Chains A and B, each alone.
Chain A
């Protein structure tokens, strides 16, 4: 099992009274809430945290992309990946670049190839469509989101795998000379991860026999993790092959402390800040027209009554959206989930919301000492038994 440390790099020190005046930490929250000195400290703190996780035995680190919000301060994840590339030894996962938001997706082929060359083949290449709010923030038309994503993906893979120059003739992108320098270090190209919160269209596309990309279920109740990974396995079978654990991944916030009680007390304000302040937004902001298919959108509208409800740490733990507890509790929950669901990639979100540096470092240490080695060993044993 591959276990990576994932960081959203939120603006953790925000004045939390912002929710009294604004609907969301996205799109409409004035950037006057951003303090440049705090920002400087946070970026360096977060890079230290990921480097520490890499040093202590995680299999690597992950960054991602978000725009114009306090939830994640990485509009350009390649910069963070570049900063990490020579200080870490494990996998370097960018999960991922939001392809439809870019005018020229060839820049992703170039950026990822650079990272793969610098790291000697340690890059994991993530492709996403971006969060719905980011279509408000970027001006990109959300009704073109799916089509642009597929076309940009095809362009990047062809840029990596076909000799250039060649002419790419798409609807949205037409480039007379595709001839990317550098080419990626890994052949035919870096492993591709497709993060999603669950979409049958995305799963069907990722699991297609011609792609077999790793599907990564992000921040979801564990019932959804199980359901969508089963869906992936079913599609693989329809396509005539068996999905391997390597093709399935789960990204989940985890907090470990000395005892269950202590873990809950330490995590509570920061997890609740994450869910109730950084993540919450009006449905029109979250889901602009076309971001989801009509069928998916109807499902969300039917469920939207629950979207603005205040959630507690206990709600998050009970649904399996967060894993919090003593080392024994956490590793047993993860072992059980792994045995049941069969994922081969686990992305531990080691910091969330306002979780401060000292607790984040302690979390990383306890995970690296008591949880990561245990999971790798049990997954290896289970794998050998099959």
Chain B
């Protein structure tokens, strides 16, 4: 175990399914497994720290991303879904609050159609995974890194700040390229969705919250309505003045909705 993160979150590694999984973990309370989006998570963030006050927050680098290894079996989103179900078993977690952003939300939905036996709730945040005819998604693979950052935020001053802070050097270059490779592995074709997922979302039998930024320019908000339509009993939470990454852009609003949602679920 190495501790490289500030405050409560510490970095761990665990070998499981022939993958050296790197993850951040911190806090106390019911387990919250958070699955990141295409760009990965570089470090323990303020919103993780806030959540760590109420939850045992677990944030892995997906296999193929960040500091996790790329296992031989890594071909598609289904592989990641089965892997994370194995991770929940391996960590001995029960009553997990499973949440995911964008590609991570897609992985979470794929997990939940396969098994909800260890889940308490499911939270999809601007989740990929579905297609709505006519609702075009932003082409993250053709856009430059700067255009991707700009499209991710409603508030362009936040995009400016992120772009100013991004000095990609050394190990970061490797991680940037590995993240891009892994995202393409999962999401290149069909682009950011699984044609078979919609058929089985009715299997999800845990309380589900579908969070979306009202101004998401990467994945259109029409996808939120589709998830809510297809998952029995799912609730929608729409964040005003917010782009594709609500936890980065409006963290307090998301945490408030998320906490109210999980608190309403019997332990």
Contact = CB atoms under 8 A, between A and B. Distances in A.
Same complex origin of A and B: yes
Interface of A: 27-28, 135-136, 139-143, 282-285, 288-290, 294, 297-298, 301
Residue of A285, A289, A301 with most partner-chain B CB within 10 A:
A289
B141 A136 contact: yes
Nearest to B147: A284
A142 B173 contact: no
Contacts of A135: 188
Given A141-B189, A297-B177, A290 B184 contact: yes
Contacts of A141: 184-185, 188-189
B144 interface: yes
A282 B144 CA distance: 8
Given A297-B177, A298-B173, A298-B177, A290 B144 contact: no
Given A139-B188, A288-B141, 5 more contacts: A139-B191, A288-B184, A289-B188, A294-B181, A301-B173
Nearest to A143: B185
B131 interface: no
Given A294-B174, A301-B173, A289 B180 contact: yes
B79 to A, nearest CB: 13
B130 to A, nearest CB: 18
Nearest to A140: B189
Given A136-B142, A284-B143, A142 B177 contact: no
Given A136-B141, A136-B142, A284-B144, A289 B183 contact: yes
Contacts of B188: 135, 139, 141-143, 288-289
B184 A142 contact: yes
Contacts of B181: 143, 289-290, 294
B178 interface: yes
A284 B173 contact: no
Contacts of A282: 142, 144
7 contacts: A140-B189, A141-B184, A142-B188, A289-B141, A289-B183, A289-B184, A290-B185
Nearest to A290: B181
Contacts of A297: 177
- Closest 5 A/B residue pairs (Cβ): A289-B184, A289-B180, A141-B188, A289-B181, A139-B189
B142 A284 contact: yes
Contact of B141 (A28, A284, A298): A284
B64 to A, nearest CB: 10
A62 to B, nearest CB: 30
B9 to A, nearest CB: 28
A285 B147 CA distance: 14
Nearest to A136: B142
A103 to B, nearest CB: 12
Nearest to B188: A141
Nearest to B144: A284
Nearest to A282: B144
Nearest to A138: B189
A294 B177 contact: yes
Contacts of B142: 27-28, 136, 282, 284-285
Contacts of A288: 141, 184, 188
Contacts of A290: 181, 184-185
Contacts of A28: 142
Contacts of B144: 282-284
A283 B147 CA distance: 13
A294 B189 contact: no
A140 B184 CA distance: 11
A151 to B, nearest CB: 14
A283 B174 CA distance: 17
Contacts of A294: 174, 177-178, 181
Contacts of B178: 294
Nearest to A141: B188
Contacts of B141: 136, 284, 288-289
A149 B142 CA distance: 23
A135 B189 CA distance: 10
Nearest to B178: A294
Contacts of A301: 173, 177
A294 B184 CA distance: 14
Nearest to A297: B177
Interface in B180-199: 180-181, 183-185, 188-191
A241 B178 CA distance: 37
A24 to B, nearest CB: 10
Nearest to B189: A139
A27 B191 CA distance: 16
A285 B142 CA distance: 6
